[in-house]
């Protein structure tokens, strides 16, 4: 593998799918038919993709010694030595420059947007330097990143974000974060404390309790959003028919975690499971159809 290709692999382009959270406001604020809003949302999406890749490079560079002791992560390009620290630094600088340029484009229309990517970078810097070693705070830091994506999507197009959707984002990101910790703990066993100090403070039983609780909170928060009076008046009636797809998605992911040991990389687990992917696509299609065919008051 060439150094350039190894660098691209380290940027984790497949993880850019996480940034679709930026489009939540565009869809639920009924702005998909607004070309200007779509372009601003795309620019915001691009900014978060570039900055997220810069963060991945920084994390891998910081963790390269610990990753070499991990059965899976030792094969990452930076941990294996396929990419030099100097090349990683150059890649990070280029990605931050791209992210900053796209941020400036959006901020030209909505100045407050600039705070969101800056807060995202600050949160990830804290995560890399400290929070990933602190029990519970490691997962909450990850959740903060997802909430910032959703909030940024609303700021980018000048649309308000439902409190229920923000809470749903908090719950589902914590759910996925604790599933990831469970997978790491199960894989590493007694040697988990040598990879990350926070893992030594977790137990499988504790994580299973948190995962079940947060999965239920995710479903409840989304269900409450669909039947909220404001949603019915200003977004659409009939969104409650999409709740079963959310329930199935949570249950399917729990199945993947417990029966397929697939929680270590949530994005890959979702994208590789045909049933989960099909359910996600059907949910998306039904949400868009409900909002844009049967709008508020219909």
pLDDT band at 294 (very low <50, low <70, confident <90, very high): low
Answer whether residue 155 shows pLDDT above 80.
yes
What percentage of residues in the chain have a pLDDT greater than 90? 70
273 is written with which tokens?
A: 């499971």
In angstroms, the first-to-last Cα distance of the chain is 56
- Residues 68-81, mean pLDDT to the nearest whole number: 77
pLDDT band at 119 (very low <50, low <70, confident <90, very high): very high
Q: How far, in Å, are 22, 49, 99, 263, 268 from residue 185 at the CA level? A: 31, 28, 34, 11, 18
- Helix 85-109 to helix 3-10 angle (10° resolution) is 50
CATH architecture, domain 1-161: Orthogonal Bundle (1.10)
| Entry pTM | 0.90
pLDDT band at 298 (very low <50, low <70, confident <90, very high): very low
Which residues sit opposite 295 in a β-bridge? 236
Average pLDDT, the chain: 90
């Amino acid at each position: 593998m060439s150094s350039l290709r190894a660098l691209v692999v380290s940027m984790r382009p497949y993880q850019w799918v996480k940034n679709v959270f930026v489009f939540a406001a565009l869809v639920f604020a009924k702005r998909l038919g607004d070309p200007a809003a779509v372009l601003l949302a795309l620019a915001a999406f691009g900014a978060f993709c570039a900055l997220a890749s810069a963060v991945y490079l920084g994390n891998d560079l910081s963790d390269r010694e610990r990753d070499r002791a991990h059965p899976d992560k030792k094969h990452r390009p930076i941990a294996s030595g396929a990419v030099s620290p100097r090349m990683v630094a150059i890649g990070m600088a280029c990605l931050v420059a791209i992210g900053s340029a796209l941020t400036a484009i959006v901020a030209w229309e909505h100045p407050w947007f600039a705070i969101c990517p800056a807060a995202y970078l600050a949160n990830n810097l804290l995560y890399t330097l400290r929070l990933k070693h602190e029990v519970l705070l490691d997962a909450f830091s990850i959740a903060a990143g997802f909430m910032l994506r959703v909030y940024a999507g609303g700021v980018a197009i000048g649309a308000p974000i439902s409190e229920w959707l923000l809470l749903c984002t908090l719950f589902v990101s914590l759910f996925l974060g604790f599933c990831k910790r469970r997978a790491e703990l199960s894989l590493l066993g007694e040697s988990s404390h040598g990879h990350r100090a926070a893992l030594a403070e977790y137990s499988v039983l504790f994580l299973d309790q948190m995962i079940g609780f947060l999965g239920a909170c995710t479903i409840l928060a989304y269900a409450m959003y669909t039947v909220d009076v404001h949603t019915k008046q200003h977004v659409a009636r009939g969104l409650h028919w999409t709740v079963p797809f959310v329930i199935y998605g949570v249950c399917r992911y729990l199945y993947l975690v417990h029966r397929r040991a697939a929680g270590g990389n949530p994005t890959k687990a979702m994208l590789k499971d045909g049933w989960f992917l099909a359910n996600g696509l059907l949910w998306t299609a039904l949400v868009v159809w409900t909002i844009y065919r049967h709008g508020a008051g219909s």
